[in-house]
Amino acid sequence: MFARCIRRFLLPSPQSLSSRPGIAAVSTTADSSISPVLLRRARSIAEEHTKLANQNAENYDVATAKKIGELSTVTAALAEWDNAQNSIKELNSLLLDPTSDSEIRSLASEDVEATSATVPRLISLLKRSLIPPHPFASLPCLLEIHPGAGGSEASLFAAELLHMYTTFCANKGWKTELVKYEADESAPGSEEGLTDAVLEVTQPGSYNMLKGEAGVHRVQRVPATEKKGRTHTSAVSVLVLPSLPAPGSAGIEDTALNFEDPNSDYYINSGEVRAETMRARGAGGQHVNKTDSAVRLTHVPTGITVAMQESRSQHKNREKAWQILRAKLAQKRREERENELIDLRRKIMGGVSMTGREDKVRTYNYSQQRVTDHRCGSETGSLPDVLEGGQALERIMRDVGEWMQEQEVAVLAAEEEVKASDLKSQKGGRT
């Protein structure tokens, strides 16, 4: 308690700071440092924040207030870090000051330790606050699961992954709906595999939690049908798509996610979507009674198609098909934006991209009862718990999430470096 008090008592006033360069009795360690480019970025955001706040004090504007809100996380994180840095400097100067008495010294050195201990956390907070929010972070999501190489083994494992995610969501109390399910017909009646499934997770923000699941999941095991006991490797690909709000839903009109707005990144011109129903062709009306309710949508410019036939209601099939089409297009456009940076990312991230739908992300090894995530190196020996969507899976997901954030920060720093050197060469060119 006393230490806290003396620290407050000794807290530097802003003016007293500037004129004490080079005094650093306690230096921060390498992993708790922040690169100068990132710090510069944080400072310019904080400046912008102050400017806007002053502006709004005089002349209030909702849009500006919103912007201020967006910048405030960085500003607050930076202020906390600055505070800590300043305290450390101040305390260190006390320690170096020959006139300080021994009691003050011991208190100050205690405080230096306590404050320094908070620095890595503050740094990490500051870095994370700099990551621009993902546009889909707050959305619910759709998980699409397809077997890849490996025949019926792959389709079986696809069904197991579907089960894994379904129970994972149930464990978290998240509602899910199986929007689409196509059974593997190549081995009907035996064990059930699937060739295509879409699971809707209606929980807002589930996109953010599950986005790291996108990619190729590999299974290594001896299939039940394998006579010679050989281990097979099969692959299943998982796509994580944002579930965009339905047209006309409250609150989306002014957001970037309003795909009915031609200025939005996610705008879909309905004129470019071809809708086909199997039943529109041939004889119809009173003469026949068709029960076919299948709908297929094709987005002509990209060639993306979505077919739905689960419901007896064509109306509902159409709605679902639109939802999936919107999700696929939004994801695609988002990826296109990111593509500009992908080379840079690949360099930084050791060959694995953030979105990486072609990349092998995880292996489920049965003989060793082990699950390994190849991105963050996270590993667990509780394969059954993972496949039941339990704690072990959540732990892996969290590790992946951490890893993704680190990558984001690295990318951010790299981008800033590039910007800085561009600026320099521009200046150099001019003089």
**Residues at the contact surface with another protein, assessed by CB under 8 A:** 162-163, 166-167, 169-170, 176-179, 181, 183, 188-189, 192, 247-248, 275, 277, 279-294, 309-316, 320
**Shortest Å distance, C-beta 367 to another protein:** 22
**Shortest Å distance, C-beta 285 to another protein:** 6
Nearer CB in complex with another protein: 103/185: 185
**Shortest Å distance, C-beta 71 to another protein:** 33
**Shortest Å distance, C-beta 309 to another protein:** 6
The answer to whether 243 and 142 are in contact (CB under 8 A) is yes
Nearer CB in complex with another protein: 18/291: 291
**Shortest Å distance, C-beta 63 to another protein:** 23
The answer to whether 241 and 144 are in contact (CB under 8 A) is yes
CA dihedral (51, 408, 126, 94) in degrees, to 10, reads: -120
- Strand, helix or coil for residue 277: strand
User: Which residues lie closer than 8 Å to 377 by C-beta, 6 or more apart?
Assistant: none
Nearer CB in complex with another protein: 179/306: 179
d(CA 74, CA 196): 42
**Shortest Å distance, C-beta 387 to another protein:** 10
**Shortest Å distance, C-beta 400 to another protein:** 23
- Which of 225, 239, 223, 203 is closest to 330 using CA atoms? 239
Indicate the DSSP class of residue 285.
Answer: G
The answer to whether 119 and 40 are in contact (CB under 8 A) is no
Nearer CB in complex with another protein: 228/281: 281
3-state secondary structure 358-375: CCEEEEEECCCCEEEECC
Nearer CB in complex with another protein: 101/185: 185
The answer to whether 107 and 206 are in contact (CB under 8 A) is no
Q: How many CA atoms lie within 13 A of 334 on its CB side?
A: 20
d(CA 411, CA 389): 31
**Shortest Å distance, C-beta 393 to another protein:** 14
Nearer CB in complex with another protein: 175/419: 175
The answer to whether 75 and 49 are in contact (CB under 8 A) is yes
**Shortest Å distance, C-beta 332 to another protein:** 25
Nearer CB in complex with another protein: 179/352: 179
Q: Where are the alpha helices (DSSP H) in 185-283?
A: 206-210
d(CA 211, CA 397): 9
Query: How far are the Cα atoms of 15, 283, 285, 295, 318 from residue 290, in angstroms, in the given order?
Result: 82, 10, 9, 14, 17
Nearer CB in complex with another protein: 310/402: 310
**Shortest Å distance, C-beta 278 to another protein:** 8
- Which of 347, 369, 373 is closest to 361 using CA atoms? 373
Nearer CB in complex with another protein: 177/422: 177
Nearer CB in complex with another protein: 96/275: 275
